[in-house]
Structure 1
């Protein structure tokens, strides 16, 4: 009797195969679902961001074209008006006013139009309530337009009489004899109803949280959904800086208020303005969350049905599901070799096998990519310092003789200071290409840090390494580089010897030789004195 009770107790402690299978399949399906959700989330995120950026860029391009055409029409209107006033000196004030009124109302391009003669006297202005008729011009923009005697578009400024923030466009007036008689100028009131409001005021992008703004060539906002920001200097904004530099494009950005945005930006050729269309990145995440919720909603019912089938057919499905569970349990602990694909007689088991296989394949690709990234310098594509140290440790064991060349680009800081870090990066990549082209297939090139590089020359003494170093030195002098000015390199060579105690000592020797090359005037190669190997 005691023995039987002990057997029953042991049986209660064990888990039935059906229960174990159900648990394992549940874990597998949940893991697969998680992987698919993560993959779907990332894929959908990239798709939404790319689509939003492309749409914003397209919208900005269309708006840029609209503004470009608009300003060409405005310029054409002013040119025609200038021809009408070619006999300005023979016209009285009422004639001038009536023609200005007609021009302003017929086109609606400008909030106000004025005619100024060659002396700077405002002959008349429309609308009349501005009250500047008969006065002399006082603003710098008006004086500049008068002095230039050619078409002119001002930067935003506040008028002295009306205290309005305006942009001013003018066209010179010449009489029939070609004598300069002043100019006709139109003003756009940026913070009031104007031609830009009429065209862009009901922009449909507002419905999805997107909006746009227009900036002048100096980085001031000329049009914005928030009128209180019109006239604000936003030149510190990263895309506005690029517009000022004449660039077009699209990118993720953070604005001056710390908001993460997806921006498309395009220059307006006619006037040097820029159009920026932005969408809050939070809108993308809201769509992503809805997407994931939809996937979960449609996945829950099939998942529940699958569990019922697993419970009912546990014994018949034991072998394929146990195999899958064993495969999944290895993820993250060891390298997983995917078994050969095969068809299962059960549909669910077959689908799950394929899904896990796809997921593991994707994980393996990502793992391989991460391993590659960890061993490679992202700028030059050379191996990094970690890989260099591992290679040196292996070579010390495997190779009886090899040499190390330590290289440092001369006066690289001056290149960065003069041409900028972007050009400096191009110089580093240029030098990396020269290194790899000058060494043998079995040699190793590494970026050691900053502008320092190391080449490991396999099965070579210091003299052979010196020849390699000179090849690098000569090619660097001969090959056209990104700065268009001579670039030199100082190099130190050390040969591995059994008297050295460590990798660090070998690198130190090469570094001493490099230091000596620098001290000796740079642009030279020096072989380390092995007698200095003892610290």
Structure 2
């Protein structure tokens, strides 16, 4: 009966360390949590407002830049139109010479065209476009001719070149005020153009933001992803506001369903619009960094409070001190954890078990790291470190062996044609063939890219040749990830008949490999004996 009572009393007791640590930790955690929540909410809104303001400022600056650019382009075309006021008496060579000078001088347009009042293309620069002497076919050009006033088209695709283009035109009148056609500058939207030159390296990207320019109909005129230029994004909330002639900034959901912080500004000179957007994740990333900084500031007082608690619990914390001493030895010397040792303190016992479990896991992870340091992560073969260690060990032991240098033929074209992922699958496929073709004592390594090395122990050069040929034939005839024949070139050198130096041996095998390459690939060559 007394024993049972003692056990019952002991099980009901809670240590002083638990009481003090629990109370302090609870109060600190609650206080910190309240502060962090308040800080998080206020900082979040501040960051959103700041990001929107910065994006709006960037959009305004770009809008002004575009406005100035359009004015300059129109001014250039107006001046050029005055040059061609007597176009009806100019010959083709004169017109082309002036067009070429205009295009090369201002560098605003990819091409410049002069069209007379009948719709005939009198001349075009550069001449390679080849439309001189033909009549206009695009709706944009027909509209420009019919309007008889300055005109900026929406994006359109040229029938002859399939280029996505934008036309800016100015009418040509002679000295008597008679309409003689127009001069038009064309921008190829998906090629190098004036927009790419000005906005191609916009600094908004450094802030995690991106931007785009849209025309009056909601089609993209400029985007970093040139494949999207010309895309209709008029359903985007920000673009809808631009089409309506509005400017501003707000949180919106883009066409991909992502929440972004968007600022949008109308270009005064025309109906274009500029939008600068930042993913909301930018705000949350900054919030994470701010929270971490706040926690670092809170850490010193928290530690001070914990030291007070530790001082009060010092007498009952001796088992924990012992455990701490034990932990301090981990990593510096061999530590043995007794399985049978029991602590009278419940917390000490639990911590001992946890430490034993953690130490076991750390040892496993250390062993795994050592293995990873010697292994190629893609193919599972050993790496150059293992290769060099094995060669030096075998040479010290004077163990006869052959080295086979392997290089997959035309591997770069595989990556270029099928992609790097398929290239990786080819490397893994080849590694499996090598592994399945060797004995347990042989060593297979991947030394970089498509280069592999095999060390065949206790094998002469002619014996290693048979191994290499078996691997080469298997690779050539087996089904592979790309469904096209794969070949390999190989070079062989033998220790000690070719050399007693590891470096020289590898060099000779490498020379033999390149001899195989030069001789037409897909073959094995044994190094010449010096």
Q: Report the Cα distance in structure 2 between the residues aligned to 1:135 and 1:16, rounded to whole angstroms.
A: 98
Corresponding residue of 1:61: 60
| Within-5 A mapping of 1:295-310 | 295-310=294-309
Corresponding residue of 2:281: 282
After the TM superposition, which of the residue ranges 304-313 and 129-138 deviates more from structure 2?
A: 304-313
| TM-score of the aligned structures, taking structure 1 as reference length | 0.55
Question: What do the CA deviations read for 1:4-57 (whole angstroms, capped 9, x no partner)?
Answer: x98998799576889645532321111001111111222221121111111111
Question: What do the CA deviations read for 1:168-224 (whole angstroms, capped 9, x no partner)?
Answer: 011011111111111111111000000000000011222333111100010000000
DSSP-derived class of the 1:75 partner: helix
Corresponding residue of 1:240: 239
Shift of 1:160: 1.7
Corresponding residue of 1:139: 138
Shift of 1:269: 1.2
Shift of 1:310: 4.5
Corresponding residue of 1:213: 212
Q: Report the Cα distance in structure 1 between the residues aligned to 2:21 and 2:308, rounded to whole angstroms.
A: 10
Q: Report the Cα distance in structure 2 between the residues aligned to 1:170 and 1:16, rounded to whole angstroms.
A: 88
Corresponding residue of 2:95: 96
Q: Report the Cα distance in structure 2 between the residues aligned to 1:239 and 1:191, rounded to whole angstroms.
A: 23
Corresponding residue of 1:201: 200
Corresponding residue of 1:36: 35
1:170 correspondence with 2:169:
yes
After the TM superposition, which of the residue ranges 110-119 and 203-212 deviates more from structure 2?
A: 203-212
Shift of 1:98: 0.6
| Within-5 A mapping of 1:385-404 | none
DSSP-derived class of the 2:177 partner: coil
DSSP-derived class of the 2:115 partner: strand
Q: Report the Cα distance in structure 2 between the residues aligned to 1:14 and 1:136, rounded to whole angstroms.
A: 100
Shift of 1:139: 1.1
| Within-5 A mapping of 1:29-428 | 29-310=28-309, 312=311
Corresponding residue of 1:491: none
Q: How many residues align?
A: 313
Q: Report the Cα distance in structure 2 between the residues aligned to 1:190 and 1:55, rounded to whole angstroms.
A: 27
Q: Report the Cα distance in structure 1 between the residues aligned to 2:11 and 2:132, rounded to whole angstroms.
A: 105
Change (3 A) 1:312 1:125: same
Corresponding residue of 1:437: none
Shift of 1:113: 0.5
Shift of 1:230: 0.2
Q: Report the Cα distance in structure 1 between the residues aligned to 2:16 and 2:161, rounded to whole angstroms.
A: 88
| TM-score of the aligned structures, taking structure 2 as reference length | 0.56
Q: Which runs of 4+ in 1 moved over 3 A?
A: 5-23, 310-314
Q: Report the Cα distance in structure 2 between the residues aligned to 1:205 and 1:234, rounded to whole angstroms.
A: 21
Q: Report the Cα distance in structure 2 between the residues aligned to 1:276 and 1:6, rounded to whole angstroms.
A: 77
Corresponding residue of 1:441: none
Change (3 A) 1:198 1:18: closer
Shift of 1:297: 3.4
Q: Report the Cα distance in structure 2 between the residues aligned to 1:282 and 1:7, rounded to whole angstroms.
A: 58
Q: Report the Cα distance in structure 2 between the residues aligned to 1:12 and 1:270, rounded to whole angstroms.
A: 83
Check whether the contact 2:121–2:131 (CA below 8 A) recurs between aligned residues: yes
Question: What do the CA deviations read for 1:263-308 (whole angstroms, capped 9, x no partner)?
Answer: 1110101111010111111122122222222322343343122122
Check whether the contact 2:218–2:233 (CA below 8 A) recurs between aligned residues: yes
Shift of 1:261: 1.3
Question: What do the CA deviations read for 1:220-267 (whole angstroms, capped 9, x no partner)?
Answer: 000001000000001111111111001111111121112221111101
DSSP-derived class of the 1:103 partner: helix
Q: Report the Cα distance in structure 2 between the residues aligned to 1:85 and 1:177, rounded to whole angstroms.
A: 13
Q: Report the Cα distance in structure 1 between the residues aligned to 2:122 and 2:35, rounded to whole angstroms.
A: 74
Corresponding residue of 2:459: none
DSSP-derived class of the 1:64 partner: helix
> Over aligned residue pairs, what C-alpha RMSD do you find?
2.4
Unpaired segments of 5 or more residues in structure 1?
315-535
Check whether the contact 2:113–2:185 (CA below 8 A) recurs between aligned residues: yes
Check whether the contact 2:58–2:204 (CA below 8 A) recurs between aligned residues: no
Question: What do the CA deviations read for 1:146-167 (whole angstroms, capped 9, x no partner)?
Answer: 1111111111100122211111
Question: What do the CA deviations read for 1:446-467 (whole angstroms, capped 9, x no partner)?
Answer: xxxxxxxxxxxxxxxxxxxxxx
